[in-house]
Each structure stands twice: as structure tokens, then as C-alpha cells.
Structure 1
Amino acid sequence: MDRRPPSAAVLVLHGGHENGTEPPPWGPLNLPGVRMRPFVRALRRATRQDGTQDGTEVLVRQVRYAHRGWNGPRADALRDAVAALDALGEEAGDDVPVILLGHSMGARAALLAAGHPLVRGVVGLAPWCPPGDPVTQLAGRDVVLVHSNRDRMTSPQATQSLTARARRAGARTCMITVRGGDHAMIRRAPAWHRLTTTLVTGLLGTGSLPEPVTAALGLPPTAQPAEGTLDLDRLRAQRGPAGLLPSS
């Protein structure tokens, strides 16, 4: 069977350092990249990367950085994200819808690259959200940010502030808190993996979003930050043990 062009794509951007111009190490030595592999595997299973019955597929790819760090105004990870989006457009067509999935520095790059015409939405995990970063590029996009309340590397308060600022700028936003998690997403790892898969497939339209997430994305621009902030454990309870969200 001849394969048709991909129906959609997910670009995965791992974390990094605030500064560092050397290239990331390869393979298992690149711990931020290794950290995202379970997410990639889960997404490939969920989106049936081996092809749907009509020959279409959802591409799931990791972005390879040229440098380990963000490096101030150079914003190297952002440059790599935009280059990957441009290359994907040339390969798959300039109308292929893309969801960006980023962790930490990669989430910052995803948020800033979201103005690219291919991007439909962003899922950010433990995102790095400096208060001065712009949000106008998020207008018209779906943005769901997931943060542990115990994160000591990046600020959940800054994440909540960004979701509110982006909503006022015309984005559809939601924040989900993972109680008892950590920045590296090691604590409660199955919960992070399953929730992320649910969110990405829901935004792609190949799965369903939890109803509270859909409601939060539909909030008006004037909504208070807390109105768009959800709790993972309450979502899990509403979905039930057979739902898409995890019980661990």
C-alpha cells in the first residue's frame, strides 16, 4: 500500500541548559533527550505511527539541538525548533498541522516557535517561562502547560502567569498541576506520560481531551489565572480508573 502524506506531526523538544554552546552529547549521555524517549514511544503507540488503515500516519519526531543551552539573546533552541518546522513543511506539506511538545527549555522554545504557520498547539512540561517572554505569537493556538507544584528548577507560578497572559492575547490556554511531581518528571512518571499522551492526541483530534481541559481552553480572555488551572488528581478522579488519565 502506498502511504499518503502524514496527516499531522508532533515535534518533541527536550530540555537543556541556560547557557552552553557545545553540542549536546549523543545517545544515552544526553539525559534531557533520554528523558523524553518514553513520551515519544507512548505517542507513537497512541498515534499508530506504523500507519492507519488508509495509509496515513502521524509523524512523531525529536528535534536535535545544535547547542546545549539557550544562550541568552541567541535563543539557540528556538532557532532549532523553527528550522525543524521549516524542514517538516518541506517534507510533509505546508498545511500539515503540528503540535509542539516541549520540556523545560524545550517548552520555552515551543512556546516562542508557536507563531509558525504549521503550529496548531503546544503542550509544555515543566516549562521555563521567563516573565518577559512574548505571548502574542500564541494567539489562535491551544496551549496546555503541565507543572509540578514541587518544581524547584522552573516556576509553576510563572507558568500560571503565562497561561493568563496568553489567554488575554488570544490563545486558548490551560494549566494542569501535578501534585508531588518533580522537574525531571521522574516522580509519578506514568502519570506524566499518560497525561501528555492524552493532551497531545486530544489536540491533534485523534483522541479526546478531558472535559475540564476543553472547558478551560474555552475560557474568555478576562478569566482569572486560577480558573484555567486544573489538578491532575481531580481530572483522574473524574475520568475514572478506565479513563485515559493514570491512576498512579
Structure 2
Amino acid sequence: MSGADGGAGGAGRAEPVLTVRRGHGPAQGVALVLHGGAEHGAAAVPPWRTAYLRMVPFARALAGSYGRHGVDVYLLRNRVRGWNGTAQDPVVDARRALARIHDERPGLPVALTGHSMGGRVALHVADDDAVRSVCALAPWTPEGDPVDAVRGRRLLIAHGTGDERTSPAASRAYAERAAAVAEHVAWVGLAGERHAMLRRPGLWRRLVLDTTARGLHLPVGPRVADLDDTSCEPAPTCWSITL
């Protein structure tokens, strides 16, 4: 994948860009971080775009916490801003990133983290054989989006109850549908938090770290909540909590 941008527009950069933070010692797993975007848009994603920069602290937190356990952290920057209908441009980019991970770290388990559109991307590419878990932050989950890609995976969806851009009710409905196929599903509402995740950044990071650790079978630090022993209706294997 390219490390440089071309001109403006959807064809301005032929490949997505991956920033990689290598773990220490024997490689044990991979965390792939996916940024948000828009429903439509052919403009290239520059490295200073807010949606991309929003995910840099998560990548750093993952590397700082789990690099010593042999976890590589990959941060993806998409070619273009938009989902773009049936083109699903960010899904294509994420699958290319996963292909590179397979080449560089064959056989290692992968934990996905995505925000907004990146959360939707993570939910779509979770069917990759290496993926073990998904942490979707304020994901864009249109009604009817398929859930089969998370079959057998661990899934946590976290959504601010005051989100003004993506629907917490829709993401909870997705979680309830996914509970029929996923290994474990949790939906966490963050009271008063909005789409940009600015009010309680430490809690958002802890949720990402916890889900990644569980997916990659790493030591789990202080728990945000008991993610295994709480259940909710209507789906018996999906639970919800508001923090």
C-alpha cells in the first residue's frame, strides 16, 4: 500500500495508506483501526482530516498497552471519504489492509476497531478468517445491514446516547440481531456522549482496549463492566448497559 497521496478526487490515490506500529518480541496478534467518513464522497482523505485524526489516539493506546505483548497496530487511511453506495470504497480498502496483514503476519488473529463509517466497515469485513473481535464505536448501522459477517466473533458496540450523527437505537437493534450469530455481543450506551467522543475519551479507550484484549486473548486490565455475565432482552446473548 502506498505511503503517499496523489492528486484530488477519488482517483487521486490508488491505494489506501497503512501506518504500522510493531509490537515487541514474538508477534501474537494484530489490531486494525478504521476511521469514519461520509455516506458519499470522492475526495481523497488527507492525513489531517478530523475523522482520521480521531482514531490516532486509539492506535497509540493499543500500541502502548499491547505492543509489549507482541501486538502490531495498523491504522488505515482510506483512499476516499465516502462509502459510495454499492462501491463500498472503505470496505474495499479494509479488505486490502487485511490482505497485507495476512502477508506480513500470516496466521495471527485480528481485532478490529472502527468509528462511525469505520464501525460499519468493521462489521462488514469481520467475516475475514483472521478476525476474532469487533469494537464498533458510534457505528453507522442502516436498517437491514447484514449481520452474518460477525458470526462466531466477539462484538462490542459503544454509542453515545446523545449522538447527533449516527443512531444509538439503530446500533442497538443491530446488536440484538447480531446476537443470533455472534459468539458474544454487548451494546454500551455512554450517557450524554456525542458522536465525536470528546467528553469521556478515557472510557472510549478502555472499551477498545478491553474488547481487543478479549479478542486476542491478552491480559485484561481493569474492567469497564462485566462483559460476560450480564444479559438483556430480547436477545439472550446480547446485553446492554449505560455508563
Provide TM-score, normalisation by structure 2.
Answer: 0.83
Instruction: List per-residue Cα deviations over 1:30-61 (Å, max 9, x = no partner).
Output: 111111111111111110x2x45xxxx10111
For the pair 1:6 / 2:20, whether they are aligned, the reply is no
**Aligned mates of 1:61, 1:145 — CA distance in 2:** 20
**Aligned mates of 1:31, 1:6 — CA distance in 2:** 31
Instruction: List per-residue Cα deviations over 1:147-205 (Å, max 9, x = no partner).
Output: 00000100000111011111113442100111111101011222222332222223322
Query: Structure 2: where are the runs of 5+ without partners?
Result: 1-23
Query: Structure 1: where are the runs of 5+ without partners?
Result: 233-248
Q: Which residue of 1 aligns with 2:229?
A: 215
Which runs of at least 4 in structure 1 moved beyond 3 Å after TM superposition? 219-222
Q: Which residue of 1 aligns with 2:160?
A: 148
Tell me, yes or no, if the aligned pair for 1:46 and 1:201 is still in contact at 8 Å: no
| 1:95-114 paired onto structure 2 within 5 Å | 95-114=107-126
Letter in 2 for 1:204: L
Q: Which residue of 1 aligns with 2:6?
A: none
**Aligned mates of 1:99, 1:137 — CA distance in 2:** 14
Q: Which residue of 2 aligns with 1:41?
A: 60
Larger relative helix fraction = 1
Q: Which residue of 2 aligns with 1:237?
A: none
Larger relative strand fraction = 2
- Structure 1 pair 58–166 and aligned structure 2 pair: CA distance change class (3 A): same
What SS does the corresponding residue of 1:184 show, helix, strand or coil?
coil
What SS does the corresponding residue of 1:168 show, helix, strand or coil?
coil
Letter in 1 for 2:54: R
Tell me, yes or no, if the aligned pair for 2:138 and 2:159 is still in contact at 8 Å: yes
Percent identity between matched residues is: 35
Instruction: List per-residue Cα deviations over 1:182-234 (Å, max 9, x = no partner).
Output: 10101122222233222222332213255621224xx6996269x611122xx
Deviation at 1:78, TM superposition (A): 0.7
Provide TM-score, normalisation by structure 1.
Answer: 0.82
- Structure 1 pair 80–20 and aligned structure 2 pair: CA distance change class (3 A): same
- Structure 1 pair 196–101 and aligned structure 2 pair: CA distance change class (3 A): same
Backbone CA RMSD of aligned residues: 2.1
Tell me, yes or no, if the aligned pair for 1:198 and 1:207 is still in contact at 8 Å: no
**Aligned mates of 2:26, 2:163 — CA distance in 1:** 40
**Aligned pairs, number:** 218
- Residue number among 8, 29, 32 corresponding to 2:51 in the alignment: 32
Q: Which residue of 1 aligns with 2:242?
A: 231
Letter in 1 for 2:139: P
Tell me, yes or no, if the aligned pair for 1:11 and 1:99 is still in contact at 8 Å: yes
Tell me, yes or no, if the aligned pair for 1:5 and 1:92 is still in contact at 8 Å: no
